[in-house]
Amino acid sequence: MNLIDKLDKNELINLLNKGWMTHDAMWFFHCLQECGIEKTNKINKAAVRSMAMIEVKRIQKALGMMEIKSFDDIRAFITDGLFVIKADFMNFRLDFTSENVFRWDIPGCFAYEGIKKIGAIDRYECGIIDRALGWFDGLGLAYTLSPSAHGCQMHRNGTCSWEFRFSI
């Protein structure tokens, strides 16, 4: 029996996501050492956003949801799509409280903790939000984001929440 046969879906998702997030953290750390925080933030945000625009198309195809026509489609896509990319250590809540509004709350952020450990949190620009922005841009959705995607909310406010209002 090989490793894939030994793991259940959740264990496999966690293993693959931990590997990906470790790569992401090590890439950020080494880029920071070589290039400084300003250039690292700029490259990281661009890389995450462009990766997410490719990732969302793959997830869209896997889910068989080639068109997003309603807020119910958005809700289903976010819920099902995040199931594949969310590991257990990623602590966030999704809330679809009103029509065309999606709220994403991150009470404990792994990126915040990691960036804090390497001593760059005071000037860190959140890359996690760029993954969501890349998804929604890749899907061709019109939306507004509140608050704006600058800095690290967890560092600045002690909490991290994003609200997306979709025009659909």
Which residue do the tokens 């029509």 mark? 99
Please report the pLDDT score of residue 56 as a whole number.
Answer: 96
Other CB atoms within 10 A of residue 122 CB: 12
**Confidence (pTM):** 0.88
Report the distance separating Cα 143 and Cα 163, nearest Å: 10
Please report the pLDDT score of residue 150 as a whole number.
Answer: 84
- Residue 33 to residues 21, 79, 115, 147: CA-CA distances in angstroms? 18, 36, 13, 29
Q: Which fold has domain 3-166?
A: Muramoyl-pentapeptide Carboxypeptidase; domain 2 (3.30.1380)
Report the distance separating Cα 23 and Cα 31, nearest Å: 12
Residues 52-94: tens digit of each pLDDT? 999 999 999 999 988 899 999 999 999 999 888 888 888 888 9
3-state secondary structure 41-63: HHHHHHHHHHHHHHHHHHHHHHH
Residue spans of the chain under pLDDT 50: none
Sequence spans of domains, the chain: 3-166
Torsion, CA 66, CA 67, CA 72, CA 77, rounded to 10: 30
Please report the pLDDT score of residue 3 as a whole number.
Answer: 82
Among candidate residues 78, 90, 72, 84, the one with its CA nearest the CA of residue 139:
78
- Cα of 45 vs its chain's centroid, Å: 11
